[in-house]
A and B are shown apart, each in its own frame.
Chain A
């Protein structure tokens, strides 16, 4: 494919899309990133990767993504620290039990080996867990996590090797039409695009505006924390509790420190400053779920955007002739990036894909169609 492809956004969506386009034979792919690659949401993720969703399409997309996650380290020739350490949704009420029994049964019908476990089994898997108000848990051993820094570096290197051009510190300042082509303006020069892809995450609406199309993606500020290093193996799965602040937490593979967050969010906003209110909220909920954490120090706290759509599902596909979007993952971008980017690249190069991209049609909101909201936390 000779067409000039310009991708706005050097996060995991932009770089993995570039990687798959190049693999399918696109010869002229350029990625523009306003800061350094990963600066947006990719380097701010809670790192979780799960197929434990409550609807068929997201379960399918994640089941296929997990197959790709397993092979990614070898494929990219770069470490990813991907591990299948599981997800454990703590259930505190009969209503939650009932709703997760339905999720598990749907997941099982799609070959996902999730199951409902007792509080005692949950404590066996996560010994420091407080099960005082836990009725049970939904546990899927196939879910897991990966290291976003290593994964992005892997995509970056593999893309460069295939001839993709990556321009960092190149914010897009304007997009104009000239001779039937879109021209993307940056302080480092202009880039002509036969095909333009918006992979700008939380900043997507700014690019939509420059192309003069309606946007359905808004930046919501979410935060996360990381603790000092801890002995590994105590909190292997991602532990989730909707009752306790929408908390999610797990031990990082790199140093065993706890990484996670709660649902307290603000927005839409472009502010990315961490807040004291959040440090208090996250500590209250984490120390309830894992009481021993009260003796553990928080060493970092940061904010990033959930690029959020009205139904918490992404927008992937063609918006206007030659203009595509892959954004609005509403907190699920990192985990879903393998299948999302591969299927978009197939759509662009081959004109079709086996993935159910109709579900993520960017025009669905204009038709008044809303999907069932994807299970979201943090």
Chain B
């Protein structure tokens, strides 16, 4: 690993090192990694970080990518202002 930290999740500043540390501790379930590091919980809804974390898990555990699950996707698929839901404004 390079000396500069590698940012995996730009929303919540999670590094590759933090993900690898959890995997080495035996935590390989992406659902658990998500909740301990907060990957996938930021405004990008996991678009950037989830595939990266899945590939790290696959490489570290030797499992094929298709066996690494994805966390549940829910609405809103992109962040929406409360004022829009409340009907007080229209989205620009």
* Contact, CB under 8 Å: A298 / B80: yes
Give CA–CA (A220, B84) in the complex, Å: 28
Give CA–CA (A220, B2) in the complex, Å: 49
Give CA–CA (A254, B38) in the complex, Å: 9
Q: Which of A199-207, A209-217, A283-291, A357-365 contacts B (4 or more CB under 8 A)?
A: A283-291
Q: Chain A's interface: helix, strand, loop or mixed, by majority?
A: mixed
- Contact partner of A274 (CB less than 8 A), chosen from B41, B75, B79, B84, is B75
* Contact, CB under 8 Å: A279 / B81: no
Say yes or no: is A176 at the interface (Cβ < 8 Å to chain B): no
Q: Which of A35-43, A87-95, A310-318, A335-343 contacts B (4 or more CB under 8 A)?
A: A35-43
Chain A contributes a number of interface residues (CB within 8 A of B) equal to 36
- Contact partner of B76 (CB less than 8 A), chosen from A254, A286, A301, is A301
Say yes or no: is A373 at the interface (Cβ < 8 Å to chain B): no
* Contact, CB under 8 Å: B76 / A294: no
A residues in contact with B89, CB < 8 Å: 294
- Contact partner of A255 (CB less than 8 A), chosen from B12, B45, B75, B80, is B12
Say yes or no: is B51 at the interface (Cβ < 8 Å to chain A): no
B residues in contact with A283, CB < 8 Å: 82-86
Say yes or no: is A293 at the interface (Cβ < 8 Å to chain B): yes
A residues in contact with B85, CB < 8 Å: 279-280, 282-284, 298
* Contact, CB under 8 Å: B31 / A299: no
Give CA–CA (A37, B81) in the complex, Å: 32
Closest 7 CB pairs of A and B: A294-B83, A297-B79, A283-B85, A149-B35, A283-B82, A283-B86, A284-B86
